[in-house]
Amino acid sequence: MAENQTTVTLNIGSQRISMAVFEPSKSGGLVLKAFESTSLLADPATEAVRMPQTRLAIVELVQKLKLAKSKVRYAISGQSVFTRFVKLPPLDSDNIEQLVTFEAQQQLPFPIDTVVWDYELLDGVSGEKEVALVAIKSDALDEINSTVVGSGLTTAGIDVAPMALFNAYRNSYADVTEPVLLIDVGAKTSNLLYIEGKRFFTRSIPVGGAALTTAISKEYGIGFAEAEGQKVSNGIVTLGGGHTSHLDESVAALGTVIRNALTRLPTEIARTTNYYRSNHGGNAPRRVILAGGGANLPYAKEFFEEKLGLPVEFFNPMRNVMVGKGVNPELVAKEAHMMGELIGLGLRGNGKAAINIDLVPSSVEAERAAEKRRPIWIASAAALTLGFLGYGILQNSAATKAEAQLADLEANMRELAKTAVPMGKLVTEEKKVKAAAEAYVKAKSDQQLWPEILTDLRKHFTSEFTWITDIEPVANFDPAKVPDDKSKVKNGDSMIKSDFAANYGASGLAAVKAPTPVATGNRRPAVTAAPAEQKANAIRIKGIWRKNDSNHNVVNTLVKALRESNPEHLRFGTIGKDGKETPLPDNVLVPLLQSTAESEDEYGWPFEIVIPLAQPVSVR
């Protein structure tokens, strides 16, 4: 995203949904222009309606901030993804991509073609390279993205909450070099981030605010919603050393329930710290930073200081972020420790992030591929339009002359009728002129066919591994002609001069012989062209494909998709005497297609596709 653009960010938590708008400052930092948040009830019993509730919450925020149809960067919770940190052997940078893909196939618990994954290279111990692998099931990501898109937004990028938090930390605490543990206490999980300079390690622990509410619900025999209300209104975390002696008895009892439920978290932190030190060569943290809505309970900071034996402070990701005039600074100060993900996403949009994870759903990938292809389609359409421009001008001029001639003839007919001169010859002439005018009108109608064909191609012939370089009308294409030598056989005559672009002002149409009657797969019987008429009965698409997992089959796949879309103006088969359509074989539709085995050193290889038209079209 360009540095002068606004970045809309969204953090989708299990209980808290927040949204912010950032703009770049003159110094290259961030300015918070707008901020809103809302909450859901993280009741495990309502998990089935979690996505609809989330969509309604996002809609509420979009309406408050007036951000309908905006592009948004959003983060999904750490519990939703599979994260692994893998050490890499010494290797040339040219082989990193292949090695990481191999490691992903070994580490991920699902087939790699069923997940969306990404990675980031990290600095390891003593200069070693380490990679952070992040993956999520494709259908789960599609469900989340559908919820966001269904809220009136479009997706600019998808990050993971722990990585967004790390980016926010690096922006605010770049001067801190000692080992730090950032604890983000969420509703269902707590994310632990072990940070040492530019190195980091993360793990999600299934202990959060909802676990405390569940403990209260069981202890007092009340519903989850009522227990949540008691926790928010009266809840505290009791401490040791007679801390409860001066408290109200009911408050002290509630605080003890919360303390007992929360004690599991320090235990998991101790286990994770040992794992981090023994398996990743990390150092024990010397400082703890608290973040997330679960850290809002009174005495939570003191509880962690007591249990971990380390100094604890609240996270402040707003240190290097300016607050705009339309934002309440008191609200930001109160909720800053819960805004880390939003700020990390804002840094991604500003190009200032330390880690760049991008999980791309299939729908977003298709949109990005179409966006990349758009300039090529525009250039192709422009080339085709230029080829017919001269023809269109001549056609309009001829039509005007024909209309003038017709008017003169009609005047003569009236004059001759007065003198009773035989009208037979004039009537014949009138019919000829009328037929010519109708031919010009039909040609104009045929001209509208080409933009519609381009639209079909744009919808169903899109891949990031192919480029279209030329589209041209073809005469005399014979679908029954099966090539036996791909390098020599030529089927059909191009109707565009190869040098038309160099002869400005001249017609770009090439002279071809009149087509013979062939089975074109028309819905109506094939029409034999008159000797003076030139008709296209196919289009030829030329392009380049580059290396990919499917190799040259990527072209056949696109042809299949185009065939299955059943375009109105194209035909992929021949109609027999029995009226049934016989599909054309692939080697007729794709007569030129080079395999990577023939030239491994090349970046791209040519392909050529010839597709019959449903109805021959006059072009002269």
Q: Select from 530, 534, 540, 559 the least CA-distant residue to 498.
A: 540
Q: Kindly report the CATH number that applies to the domain delimited by 1-173+319-359.
A: 3.30.420.380
Q: What SS3 class is residue 33?
A: strand
User: What pLDDT digit, counting tens, does each position of 121-165 carry?
Assistant: 887 766 677 889 999 999 999 999 999 999 999 999 999 999 999
**Dist. CA 51–CA 358, nearest whole Å:** 21
Considering only CA atoms, give the Rg of the chain.
35
**pLDDT value at position 11?**
96
d(CA 593, CA 308): 65
- DSSP for residue 112: G
Pick from 26-40, 450-464, 488-502: least confident: 488-502
Q: Please state, in angstroms and rounded to a whole number, the distance separating the CA atoms of residues 496 and 616.
A: 16
Same fold across 1-173+319-359 and 174-316: yes
Q: What is the pLDDT of residue 575?
A: 77
pLDDT for residue 443: 64
Strands 180-185 and 287-291: parallel
Higher-confidence residue of 406 and 249: namely 249
Tell me the C-alpha distance between 354 and 25, whole Å. 18
Q: 605 or 18: whose pLDDT is higher?
A: 18
Partnered with residue 573 across adjacent β-strands are 583
pLDDT average, residue stretch 575-591: 77
Locate the domains of the chain by residue range: 1-173+319-359, 174-316, 368-618
198: its two tokens: 């530019």
Give the residue among 381, 602, 559 at the shortest CA–CA distance from 470.
381
What's the rounded Cα separation, in Å, for the pair 304 and 316? 18
Which tens digit of pLDDT belongs to each residue from 17-33? 999 999 999 888 999 99
**Among candidate residues 95, 372, 45, 60, the one with its CA nearest the CA of residue 214:** 45
As a whole number, mean pLDDT of residues 394-414 equals 72
Would you say 253 and 268 are in contact if contact means Cβ atoms under 8 Å apart? no
pLDDT at 332 over 90: yes
Neighbour count for residue 286 (Cβ, 10 Å): 11
pLDDT digits (tens, 9 = 90+) for 345-397: 999 998 989 999 999 998 888 877 766 665 665 656 555 656 556 566 666 66
CATH of domain 174-316: 3.30.420.40
pLDDT at 598: 56
A 10 A CB-CB count for 593 gives 21
Of residues 355, 358, 359, the one with CA closest to residue 163: 355
Give the number of C-alpha atoms closer than 13 A to the C-alpha of residue 510, restricted to the C-beta side.
Answer: 17
Residue 397 sits at the vertex; the CA angle it makes with 395 and 401, to the nearest 5 degrees, is 115
- Residue 207's pLDDT is what? 93
Q: How far lies 68's CA from each of 16, 38, 53, 64, 252, in Å?
A: 20, 17, 18, 10, 47
* 328 phi/psi in degrees, rounded to 5: -75, 110
Could you please report the per-residue DSSP string of 559-618? HHHHHHT--SSB--EEE-TTS-EEEPPHHHH--EE--GGG-TT-SEEEEEEEEEEEEEEE
Helices (H), 350-507: 362-418, 424-447, 449-460
The more confidently predicted of residues 476 and 460 is: 476
Can you say whether the dihedral through the CA atoms of 279, 281, 287, 288 is positive or negative? negative
The number of CA neighbours under 13 Å toward the Cβ of 422 is: 3
Averaged pLDDT, 597-614: 79
Quick one: how far is CA 593 from the chain centroid? 29
- Does residue 251 register a pLDDT over 80? yes
| Coil vs helix vs strand at 274 | helix
DSSP 227-259: HHHHHHHH-----TTTTTTTS-HHHHHHHHHHH
Q: How far apart are CA 297 and CA 236, in angstroms?
A: 6
- Higher pLDDT among residues 497 and 620, named by residue: 497
pLDDT, one tens digit per residue, over 54-75 is: 999 999 999 999 999 999 999 9
pLDDT one-digit tens code per residue, 287-327: 999 999 999 999 999 999 999 999 999 999 999 999 999 89
The residue-averaged pLDDT of 502-525 equals 59
How far apart are the C-alpha atoms of 229 and 48, rounded to whole Å? 22
Indicate if the pLDDT at residue 93 is higher than 70.
no
pTM: 0.61
For CA atoms 116, 121, 124, 129, the dihedral sign is: positive
**What pLDDT is attached to residue 572?**
83
Angle among Cα 501, 505, 510 to the nearest 5 degrees reads: 60
Amino acid at 95: N
